[in-house]
Amino acid sequence: MTTQPAAASEGLLPGSPQLRRLNVAMLCAALAAFGLLYSTQALLPSIGAGFGVGPTAASLTVSATTGALALAILPLSAAAESLGRVRLMRTGLLVAVACTFLAAAAPAFWLLLVARALVGVALAAVVAVAVAHLGDEVHPAELGTAIGVYVAGNTLGGITGRLVPGLVEESTSWRVAVALLGVVALVAMLVFVRLLPPPTRQTATRVRPREHVAAVRELAGDPGIVRLCLLAFVSMGGFVACYNYLTFRLEGSPLHLGTAVTSLLFLAYLAGTVSSPLAGRLSDRFGRKRLVLLGIGVALAGLALTLPDRLVCITVGLLVFTAGFFAAHSVASSWVSSRAAGRRGQAAAMYLLCYYLGSSAFGALIGLGYQHGGWPAAAAAIGALFLVGGLSVAGVPTTPTAPTAPTGS
């Protein structure tokens, strides 16, 4: 008598033990990765004061990481096809944790930026292949939910990366806060390594670089993927800028909140933890375009609520803004994957390249608006970016126009 495998020809079956392990493992990977990615965001005022730099320069500790991550995504997604996605994700998390400890000990600002950039390169090994790994391993009927769980892990990592340092910093220092987050990420990484099932549908195969280039070129011929990448570029840029400069706003006049209190507002990420898997499930019923546009509309409504200098309005607005952003991002991620069957790795890398380039560029550039016009100017710029994203998504064709079969040469 033989045992039936839990994975069908189309991927891991709904309700199978392997699928549950995969979901928990990828959630832990996301928690570790996104906690480390934004570990300095709640500490920007303290880092700026410690090194004698302003808000825009301090925000480079976030932008250097996301920018380096963006530049490393395409090369590492290509390397994953030869080295194996699981091996690459494990190695990337380990290196990112080690570089975080180096960042905590950096004696000069430029060394801090270098360490943070190295963290970004290492984390690219995770985020470049995670969605593609899920796309290959999970049954299509469960893909939206699985990616939603992974994005929920992103939000938990975002909370951890901001809340833990923010609560610790006032009683110690920003260096101790960053080091403690490195310990938390190390624990999450060990759980990921322990639980992640062996891949069932993707193995390491040597692929020539020109094959990856050809695949990216053909994917760029799909106007839907191009428009979704534009959405990623502008919406992530606006989202990171919102959290970057809201920290300065809350600690400045007229609110004058402390770092510990300010960091509690990052619990707004829990709204994204809820909205991501919910949007993934609803998109399977009502259509992806409708859910992405709804998420953008919700985010804009939340952004408007943050304009008054009242803590209640800012808190509610941040909750609504975060829920809308992560709902749109979760659905857009699975949408890109579904349009690129056979090339999910390259498609996910293209989407994430734009996602983190937007984070790096607008996360710093909107600081110029904040320095000259305060929060209203920053919010107006963020809102304009989300409007551009909505217009882009509205024009996404309902069916792919680019070929979706793998290309050989």
CATH number for the domain spanning 335: value is 1.20.1250.20
Choose among 52, 48, 73: nearest CA to 60.
Answer: 48
- Provide the pLDDT for residue 183: 94
Residue 408 lies in a domain: no
Residue 51 lies in a domain: yes
Query: Are 59 and 106 a contacting pair, CB within 8 Å?
Result: no
- Provide the pLDDT for residue 334: 80
Taking phi first (over 0 means left), then psi (-120 to 50 degrees means alpha), and beta for anything else, what does residue 11 get? left
Residue 82 lies in a domain: yes
Full pLDDT tens readout for the chain, 409 residues = 334 444 445 666 666 778 888 889 989 999 999 899 988 888 888 898 899 988 888 888 988 998 898 889 888 877 877 778 888 999 999 999 999 999 999 999 999 999 999 999 999 999 878 877 887 788 777 777 787 788 778 778 878 887 888 788 777 889 999 999 999 999 999 999 999 888 776 554 555 666 666 766 777 677 888 899 999 999 999 998 998 888 888 888 888 887 777 877 778 878 887 888 788 778 877 888 889 999 999 999 999 999 998 989 999 999 999 999 989 988 888 888 777 766 766 777 788 888 888 888 887 789 888 888 889 999 999 999 999 999 999 888 765 544 333 333 2
Query: Are 69 and 377 a contacting pair, CB within 8 Å?
Result: no
Q: What is the dihedral of CA 99, 100, 104, 109, to 10 degrees?
A: 70
> Which residues fall within 8 angstroms of residue 400, CB to CB, at 6 or more apart?
222, 224, 225, 339, 340
Decide: pTM greater than 0.75.
no
b (16+ CB within 10 A) / e for 384-402: ebbebbbebbeebeeebeb
Bridge partners (DSSP) of residue 21 are: none
- Provide the pLDDT for residue 201: 61
Rounded-to-integer distance, Cα 56 and Cα 367, Å? 5
Tell me the one-letter amino acid at 248: F
Residue 409 lies in a domain: no
Tens of pLDDT along 68-127?
Answer: 988 898 888 778 777 788 889 999 999 999 999 999 999 999 999 999 999 999 999 998
- Provide the pLDDT for residue 300: 96
Residue 309 lies in a domain: yes
Rounded-to-integer distance, Cα 324 and Cα 334, Å? 16
Enclosing domain of residue 261: 16-196+209-394
Alpha-carbon radius of gyration of the chain: 20
Cβ-based burial of 97 (10 A; exposed 0-12, middle 13-18, buried ≥19)? buried
Rounded-to-integer distance, Cα 227 and Cα 121, Å? 26
- Provide the pLDDT for residue 9: 53
Residue 165 lies in a domain: yes
Residue 6 lies in a domain: no
Residue 2 lies in a domain: no
| Domain count within the chain | 1
Rounded-to-integer distance, Cα 73 and Cα 60, Å? 19
Tell me the one-letter amino acid at 214: A
Coil, helix or strand for 2?
A: coil
Vertex 305: Cα angle to 300 and 307 (nearest 5):
105
- Provide the pLDDT for residue 259: 74
Is the peptide bond preceding residue 254 cis, with omega within 30 degrees of 0?
yes
Rounded-to-integer distance, Cα 402 and Cα 393, Å? 17
Vertex 132: Cα angle to 230 and 407 (nearest 5):
85
